[in-house]
Structure 1
């Protein structure tokens, strides 16, 4: 049984859904990446899993299960026992994820109190150990530091320490290196992978950086306009993408000596201007008359693809 099982997930805020029929599975100890342009529904999908979609947002699914538990059927109290402990999330902006009114130590110890029952000296000692594990120097002194006194890289390390404090089985990292410089980005990703291997966690990485994904993930889900358009294993999917959108994302990666970046014309459709057929059709260089129909996600040579005319399928 998969650790995470999502079937036909929809999230809407009025109008067309911003997440439209997402199917996704994740096994224990696996590293899965979700990629796509801004507005593709990557983060919203995971916020729905965490129960962080506020009204007027509405979440529906045929299945939204974690470790066999139906997340949609849980009450607030039961959900709080799982979220923050068995499922934890590292957000892309640590300055907004950390509470500016409380010290680093207080915020880490709060997680330890809520989910592990640690208090007093035991909680403080464990908080120091967590800061040391995420490679923060002078960890004991950092406990009394406020978030605004930390650099971006240090703040993200604190956010990671908070996320792993409850010893999660699934860690969701939502663009964890976006606000950091290149050197710190590499350090943070190396840290996340070390923690994933050390603890046997499943890691779900949300990213638009395909180079990072290629180096870290075992499988990838490509999302476009709220739909999964391709699923497959790496590096095979990047070597021979089946969906035109996957091909366009890879073509947009800068190459040495390249005079002009490749781009896909147009924009991701919004809630109120979605095509009736294939959502990529207005931008797709391979569009054909049948694309006026809405394709389903079907098995492909390397996984699954949502396209009537998939690419690179000769060996299928």
Structure 2
């Protein structure tokens, strides 16, 4: 196996007393698509923002290893790390309208990325910005360059964000719930666009999503997070066919196609723990149907890519 493009080991993010990310370890191979899933509050977005260097005080970020493309990001001066991350790692945020600056045209904002990271200016920058809008399939791209974000639809703004993200030919693209605020038809178009761009550019892609059906269709591997911890990871479709962690099983059981004929969707009771209700033992124990005495007092380690004292046996078939 080739060396991973991204290698995170024991990444932690803390906001005061709240442990938002708890010793997360992940790796992504060049050109791989990784699905990062879990409920809201599980630490998916925060962990990727920590990689991007976007966690501001009072947030505290620590990691044992944070390597990208063979370079130790922790050892780089802040300015050099920003250059590497801004050029080689890009992130598409879930709400494009708030991520874009309402005071500038979309063309100006794309050109600003090109000026800062590639040194392009004037006609060169405008030509490249036009090419990028055409790549993300925005119609009438020449006139769209002159538009402000509020003059474009949500789907168009998301395409502009994707254009900015791929402007410098990144090796890794992080898409954070890229279809959350869009209607179903536009969601499918944006996902198809991301898939096409990932293949054409040979990028690695981390897709942060609640939608397991999307992960099953687009990703090669999936990592499941809960309350800041990685609780299970594996290849697609192996993890979907034979989930071992009770939380992964609950997520899959809640899919509509697994509830045909039922009066209500299957659901896991309770909520992700916050600052004041974080359990002493396994973080899922208060919600877990299989919890035993040990689960209430001890934190399970991640063993063979599953964090559970009593995981489903590898040869078991889910019901």
- Pairwise TM-score range, normalised by the shorter structure: over 0.9
* Of 273, 277, 280, the match for 2:281: 277
8 A Cα contact 1:35 1:206, kept in partner: yes
8 A Cα contact 2:13 2:50, kept in partner: yes
In structure 2, how many angstroms separate the alpha carbons of the residues matched to 1:189 and 1:35?
16
Superposition map of 1:25-174 within 5 A? 25-174=27-176
* Structure 2 partner of 1:311: 312
How far the C-alpha of 1:312 sits from its partner, in A, is 4.1
Indicate the SS of the match to 1:17.
strand
How far the C-alpha of 1:109 sits from its partner, in A, is 0.5
Give per-residue Cα distances to partners, 1:216-241, cap 9 Å, x unaligned. 11000000000000010001101110
How far the C-alpha of 1:16 sits from its partner, in A, is 3.8
* Structure 2 partner of 1:185: 187
In structure 2, how many angstroms separate the alpha carbons of the residues matched to 1:285 and 1:140?
57
Superposition map of 1:283-294 within 5 A? 283-292=287-296, 293-294=298-299
8 A Cα contact 1:18 1:271, kept in partner: no
Indicate the SS of the match to 1:232.
strand
In structure 1, how many angstroms separate the alpha carbons of the residues matched to 2:160 and 2:261?
39
User: Does 1:295 pair with 2:300?
Assistant: yes
TM-score by length of 1: 0.97
8 A Cα contact 1:240 1:312, kept in partner: no
Moved more, 251-260 or 38-47: 251-260
How far the C-alpha of 1:290 sits from its partner, in A, is 1.8
In structure 2, how many angstroms separate the alpha carbons of the residues matched to 1:183 and 1:236?
29
8 A Cα contact 1:39 1:225, kept in partner: yes
Q: How many residues align?
A: 312
In structure 2, how many angstroms separate the alpha carbons of the residues matched to 1:272 and 1:130?
46
How far the C-alpha of 1:254 sits from its partner, in A, is 1.4
In structure 2, how many angstroms separate the alpha carbons of the residues matched to 1:118 and 1:234?
40
How far the C-alpha of 1:117 sits from its partner, in A, is 1.3
In structure 2, how many angstroms separate the alpha carbons of the residues matched to 1:167 and 1:179?
26
In structure 1, how many angstroms separate the alpha carbons of the residues matched to 2:214 and 2:302?
26
Structure 1: 5+ residue runs without aligned partners?
none
In structure 2, how many angstroms separate the alpha carbons of the residues matched to 1:170 and 1:271?
32
TM-score by length of 2: 0.96
8 A Cα contact 1:241 1:312, kept in partner: no
* Structure 1 partner of 2:22: 20
How far the C-alpha of 1:315 sits from its partner, in A, is 6.2
8 A Cα contact 1:86 1:169, kept in partner: yes
